[in-house]
Structure 1
Amino acid sequence: MTVEFRRDAAVAVLTLRNPPHNHLGLGTISELGDAFDSADRDPDIRAILLRSEGRVFCAGADLVNANPVAEPLPPGARSPFYVAAARLFGVATPVVAAVQGAAVGAGLGLALVADFRVATPEARFVANFVALGLHPGFGISAVLERVIGRQRAAMMLLTGRRIRGEEAERWGLVDQLVPPDRLDETALALAREIAAGAPLAVASTRRTLRGDLRALIEAATDHELAEQARLMRTEDFAEGVRAVSERRPGRFVGR
């Protein structure tokens, strides 16, 4: 098991434990979905705190060793990994994420599942898909601009730039910025504050604010997967994966 579930009164505390980088594979993301479903079914749970162990919040999918979207699919089939991602966005219980380090690629997508993000100055948010020669995935192409606006989303997606904690707070990607030793207590306090509200009113208001987010993510990931499947056949993608694993700039040729 890579996801720990524990209760703190009316808050479900979910901890991602997949060291050292907390990569997301189909197994881990399915465990997270099961944990979200358990929280949704429990009337005594009114908020979720999503956190992870170690120095990295989530380094995304392991594209080098276990790319979860690389398997060929029959025409019209949906990626099981992206079906699982859309399931996370469909969670009915409010979610607070505690981000202590890198949230990269699908890890950024996981942070965007949450209603609120509490982070440390050392946190960094990265949509590094173009550095891999790849189209964004995990619904990020649709949901990121809802949080930080179209121009800032374009800046992240077209440059692959790292956005550190202070800048992320200025952009609205982070709601509270705190020192590392206060991260868990601050994020838990916010989850408890949400849980203290009238549950029917909180649920009703949240449904209005999020709209049909799950359907948006499903449509976005269908398009993202088609673009990723095309780009994964290119020389640039192979070079991008090598370059990222070797920690060097990519030498792209446009084919």
Structure 2
Amino acid sequence: MTASVHVAHDDHVAIITFARPPHNHADLALIEGIGAAFTAADVDPAVRAIVLQSDGRVFCAGADLARDNPVADPQPEGTRNPFYVAAARLYAVTKPVVAAIQGSAVGAGLGLALAADFRIASPEARFVANFVQLGLHPGFGISAVLERVVGRQRAALMLLTGRRIKAEQAEAWGLVDQIVAQGKLRPAALALAQEIAAAAPLAVQSTRATIRGDLSGLVQRQTDHELAEQAWLQRTQDFAEGVRAVNERRPGRYIGA
């Protein structure tokens, strides 16, 4: 399905809503579209904060590796993968981002959620870094960013098991900042963004830049490393089995080759 990104404004808040039904799979067009909306909000002096949300039951199911794998093709020497260029662009925004997570955030969808400064979730939200269950190295900068949010041990647990983390546990770990009922999710995300936007904007952006440090550069460097690891792993039998297993909804039968 074609991806769409819609932008609305509520006073000093830009509300970015994306959709790629039925599961909001992340492809290049979607991430580039969100990035373009981020950039437009960033250069708009009237915008002081951003809300990121999606339509449907799933926040973002990650990349569809079986049908539309955005990291499958090898890149020419000296060039970067466009999908990860687009991913890193999300971290270059200078204004705070609040994500409203109404359902599963899987793989690259988790990466998209991590690009936000704050995550408001409904009880139905789930957070999954299932790369190893696909026979693949994590991508989208997750291998660098996740531990900054939940700590190294918890990040290792998620990344080495592919475990599905429910909203309540995510809140306890700091991956989610607030849990609200599904029907109140978007208003709650907007309320937080409006609270941020009510503060002095230059001071907010300066403080945020100090807190985040070189996060944008870190993601650029990390996605280069992630892609290199993904490239050789995608040539393994375990990766082919992992993709089949996920699509057939069964445990993978891996052989280490």
TM-score by structure 1 length? 0.99
1:134 counterpart letter in structure 2 = L
2:155 counterpart letter in structure 1 = A
Q: Which residue of 1 aligns with 2:149?
A: 147
Distance 1:234 1:75 in 2: 22
Q: Which residue of 2 aligns with 1:16?
A: 18
Q: Which residue of 2 aligns with 1:159?
A: 161
Alignment map for 1:159-178 (pairs within 5 Å) = 159-178=161-180
1:180 counterpart letter in structure 2 = Q
Q: Which residue of 2 aligns with 1:66?
A: 68
Q: Which residue of 2 aligns with 1:108?
A: 110
Alignment map for 1:88-99 (pairs within 5 Å) = 88-99=90-101
Residue correspondences, number: 255
Distance 2:76 2:56 in 1: 38
5+ residue gaps, structure 2, are none
Distance 1:77 1:252 in 2: 32
Moved over 2 A (4+): none
TM-score by structure 2 length? 0.98
Q: Which residue of 1 aligns with 2:210?
A: 208
Residue 52 (structure 1) aligned to one of 51, 54, 58:
54
Give how far 1:62 is off. Answer: 1.1
User: What is the aligned-residue identity percentage?
Assistant: 69
Q: Which residue of 2 aligns with 1:43?
A: 45
Q: Which residue of 2 aligns with 1:130?
A: 132
Q: Which residue of 2 aligns with 1:118?
A: 120
Distance 1:72 1:227 in 2: 12
Give how far 1:41 is off. Answer: 0.9
5+ residue gaps, structure 1, are none
Which whole-Å deviations, capped at 9, do the CAs of 1:81-118 have from their partners, x for residues lacking one?
00110000111111000000000000000000000000
Which whole-Å deviations, capped at 9, do the CAs of 1:177-236 have from their partners, x for residues lacking one?
111111011110000000000001000000000011110001100000000001000000
1:55 counterpart letter in structure 2 = R
2:46 counterpart letter in structure 1 = D
Distance 2:48 2:65 in 1: 35
2:41 counterpart letter in structure 1 = A
Distance 2:245 2:78 in 1: 32
Give how far 1:77 is off. Answer: 2.0
SS in 2 for 1:66: coil
Distance 1:219 1:28 in 2: 22
Q: Which residue of 1 aligns with 2:243?
A: 241
Q: Which residue of 1 aligns with 2:35?
A: 33
SS in 2 for 1:186: helix
Q: Which residue of 2 aligns with 1:2?
A: 4
SS in 2 for 1:74: coil
Q: Which residue of 1 aligns with 2:227?
A: 225
